[in-house]
Structure 1
Amino acid sequence: MHCPKCRNEVLKPAKLEEGLPAMGCPACDGALLSLLYYRDWAERATLPSPEQTTNELSDEQDAKAALCCPKCSRIMTKYSIAGSVGTRLDLCGNCDEAWLDGGEWSTLKALELAQKLPAVFSDQWQRRVRMERTELDRVERLTRLVGHADAEKAVDVKKWLASTANRAQILHFLSIE
């Protein structure tokens, strides 16, 4: 099997974690992970707390082009892991194999998603990621329009309004000038 990103490199046996085998590319540090082996590992493993924060995460290794599965040569589908991070995982639905670009396993661990990998590939997860990304874009747009300080206050007020029982009355009051 050849690396779907490098295309010429032969994948070699590797370990993402103790007890979690994968096929790794020595050139780009990517890994082909069988979700069958992953599920077995996830049932037994406990991971320590993440060392990185989301501010330190980078998605520059993420392959932007569609990749072909090293096993069956079908096009792999890309799945976003979070709205705040541009990292996308590649999944072959035919072989049930995921391609992790170099550094993506560390990103999953830092976001505490390393033991939730199958959930990332669900429609429900992907809807939530799109909603999160949309909200981040709205806040970014508001920040450009009104400035950082006012946008931050608006976000705080929005959170407060969402949690108060008198939301409708307060919004009505605010709409009358």
Structure 2
Amino acid sequence: MRCPKDNNSTLIDRTLDGGLAVQYCPSTEGQWIRDQEYRAWLENQNAEPDATLVAQRLTSLEFDPAAEDLKAALCPECGHYLTRAKVMTRKSFFVERCGKCGGIWCDRGEWEALQMLGLHTRLDELFSGEWQTLVRERQQSDRQREATIDKLGSDLAGRIFDLAEALKAHPNGDFGVAYLMQQFNKAE
């Protein structure tokens, strides 16, 4: 079986920590995970971390995606296009899956990143509409945050971000938001 990212390289059998059998590319260091192997391995795994813990890990993970992550690929087993699911960390990366046979492709370091995030046991979620909606919402939030920094400067923007978090955490934070809005309405 050929590597989906380097057609000149043949995949070799390998077993990851935890006993997951994969096909490994010595050239790109990527890994092909057959659906049936993943499902069998998944049955023996512990409970998944909760969504809050995963979200915290997403914002703190330091990971540099492989150059091959940007390349489209075909399934090494059945030749269908691999669909991509975006994992947004400080530097986003894509996990790929075959829509026909269900196999998963992880470029160099992605499986380890998924393990650190607690997403390696939740791969089905990455390809769900709900996950993709969350990714788009996070992208929008990141753009708004960058625009706020651009318009107000990093010092004032940082103070506003801190105030927003404090108001969200306070049981009567909505009163603070209402006060600020009232002050802006008076200024007009």
The normalised TM-score by structure 1 is 0.85
CA-CA distance at 1:57 after TM superposition:
1.2
Question: Where is the helix percentage greater, Structure 1 or Structure 2?
Answer: 2
Runs of 4+ in 1 over 6 A off after TM superposition: none
- Cα distance in 1 between the residues matched to 2:67 and 2:3: 14
Conservation of the 8 A alpha-carbon contact between 1:23 and 1:33: yes
2:178 matches 1:169: yes
Pair 16,45 (structure 1): closer, same or farther in 2 beyond 3 Å: same
Superposition deviation, residue 161 in structure 1: 4.2
For residues 36-115 of structure 1, what are the structure 2 equivalents within 5 Å?
A: 36-46=36-46, 54-82=60-88, 84-115=90-121
Give the stretch that moved more between structures: 160-169 or 129-138.
160-169
Q: Give unpaired runs (5+ residues) of structure 1.
A: none
User: 1:73 offset after TM fit, Å?
Assistant: 1.1
Partner of 2:160: 154
Over the residues paired in the alignment, what is the CA RMSD in angstroms?
Answer: 2.3
Deviation at 1:167, TM superposition (A): 6.2
2:176 and 2:60 map into 1 onto residues whose CA distance is 32
Between the two proteins, the alignment pairs up a number of residues equal to 173
1:131 partner letter: E
- Name the residue aligned to 1:8: 8
Q: Does 1:25 align with 2:25?
A: yes
Higher strand share: 1
Query: Could you list the runs of 5+ residues in structure 2 that have no partner in the other structure?
Result: 50-58
Contact 1:30–1:99 (CA under 8 A) maintained in structure 2? yes
Distance 1:59 1:169, change over 3 A: same
In the TM superposition, residue 28 of structure 1 has moved relative to its aligned partner by 1.0
AA matched with 1:42? L
With normalisation by structure 2, the TM-score equals 0.81
Name the % identity: 27
SS at match of 2:79: coil
User: Can you list the C-alpha shifts for 1:25-54, whole angstroms capped at 9, x where unaligned?
Assistant: 11111011123322322231349x9xxx93
Distance 1:88 1:125 in 2: 13
